[in-house]
């Protein structure tokens, strides 16, 4: 099993969620996060004073899937979240050694 973490632009969340549902991904965790990479933030004007906004709002999706659907899931996120502009985000994939559903005690693929 793999854990896919995707950092995307907030306005792309609904599109990505719907696209993932179409390929059979129904469970995910979504967090509102802030950060920056190459985008580096921007300046804003507030009450006549200019200030730097270093951390930009993003959305973090966390999805645990079986190995056979990892590439489909990644392709789906890329196609849906990509705008072609800086700040589109990143996808991280890591191994998951064990999953346990607390309610039933099911493990691994049955728990996902």
In angstroms, what CA-CA distances link 82 with 23, 57, 66, 76? 18, 16, 24, 10
How big is the chain by its Cα radius of gyration, in Å? 17
Q: Which residue has the tokens 């559903």?
A: 101
**Distance (Å, rounded) from C-alpha 23 to C-alpha 44?**
39
pLDDT at position 110 is 87
Q: Burial level of 16, CB count in 10 A (0-12/13-18/19+)?
A: buried
**Distance (Å, rounded) from C-alpha 110 to C-alpha 48?**
57
pLDDT at position 42 is 62
Residue pair 57/34 in contact (Cβ under 8 Å)? The answer is yes
Domain count, the chain: 1
pLDDT at position 90 is 95
- Mean pLDDT, each 10-residue run in order, the chain (112 residues): 96 96 92 81 69 82 94 96 91 96 91 83
CATH of the domain at 95: 3.30.70.120
This prediction has a pTM of 0.84
What range defines the domain where residue 23 resides?
A: 2-110
């Amino acid at each position: 099993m793999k854990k896919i973490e995707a950092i995307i632009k907030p306005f792309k969340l609904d599109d990505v969620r719907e696209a993932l549902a179409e390929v059979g991904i129904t469970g995910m965790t979504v967090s509102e996060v802030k950060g920056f990479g190459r985008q580096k933030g921007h300046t804003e004007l507030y009450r006549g004073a200019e200030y730097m906004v270093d951390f930009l709002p993003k959305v973090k999706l966390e999805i645990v899937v079986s190995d056979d659907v990892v590439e489909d899931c990644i392709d789906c996120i890329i196609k849906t979240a990509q705008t072609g502009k800086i700040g589109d985000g990143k996808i991280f994939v890591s191994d998951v050694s064990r999953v346990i559903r607390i309610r039933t005690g099911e493990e691994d693929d049955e728990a996902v």
